[in-house]
Every structure is written in structure tokens, then in C-alpha cells.
Amino acid sequence: MGAFPLPVEVIPMAVPQIIRDFSALGGQAVLRMRDEKPLVTDNGQYILMCMA
């Protein structure tokens, strides 16, 4: 990917599966938080910060 985390917008119910998928590919995905709650986009989705 790169030297910095890549933000990926995902539907809330898919977060656990996407985190597992990135892990299986050798990467890491972390749910972006704000005030101890998941950051929600204008579309009602969550943001995962993905790193290689």
C-alpha cells in the first residue's frame, strides 16, 4: 500500500470480516475512532485505517 495508513470506507456489519481479510493478506486494519465511538461518514459507514 504505502508508508501511511489508507482509509477504507466499509459498511458497519462488514468491519470484523474486513479486518480478518486484511490480516490474512499480511496487513492490518484498525477501526477509526472519535470520542471512543467509531467514526461515521456522511453515508453512515465506518472507516478502517489499513496498513501493509
Q: What is the pLDDT of residue 31?
A: 97
Closest CA to 46 of 22, 11, 5, 13: 11
Q: What are the φ/ψ torsions at residue 14 (nearest 5 degrees)?
A: -95, -10
pLDDT tens by residue, 16-29: 999 999 999 999 99
Q: What are the φ/ψ torsions at residue 2 (nearest 5 degrees)?
A: 175, -170
Q: What is the pLDDT of residue 21?
A: 96
CA distance 48 to 28: 10
**pLDDT, average across residues 24-35:** 96
**pLDDT, average across residues 1-29:** 93
pTM of this prediction?
A: 0.86
For the chain, which residues make up each domain, given as ranges? 6-51
Looking at domain 6-51, its CATH class is: alpha beta
Task: Fill in the amino acid letter for 16.
Answer: P
CA distance 12 to 43: 11
